[in-house]
Amino acid sequence: MLRNITLSADDQLIARARARADAGNTSLNVEFRKWLEGFAAETNVAAVDRFRGVMAQFAQVDAGRMFTRDEMNER
């Protein structure tokens, strides 16, 4: 059973999305369903990959020295 939902978006954004869907011989409904399926199926693996990407950005940070576990846990 398909259920209806209501979304709000900027008029220009909707127009651009419709034009893109039309160019691909599809509809916003079809494209949104595809996106929703992917979003709902996202696993922890994807979240871990995003986390690793963020942490890789911090790999270049030079704190000057290695900190002990106690120093890192101080509040």
Q: Which two tokens stand for residue 53?
A: 């990407």
Q: Where are the domains of the chain?
A: 11-73
Reported as a pLDDT band with limits 50, 70 and 90, residue 73 is confident
| Per-residue model confidence as pLDDT tens digits over 1-53 | 988 888 888 899 999 999 999 999 999 999 999 988 877 876 777 777 888 88
* pLDDT value at residue 15: 93
* pLDDT value at residue 17: 93
* pLDDT value at residue 60: 74
Q: Amino acid identity of 45? A: V
Per-position DSSP letters for 7-68, written without gaps between them: ----HHHHHHHHHHHHHTT--HHHHHHHHHHHHHH--HHHHHHHHHHHHHHHTT---SSPPP
User: Is 90 exceeded by the pLDDT of residue 54?
Assistant: no
Q: Look at the pTM and tell me if it is higher than 0.85.
A: no
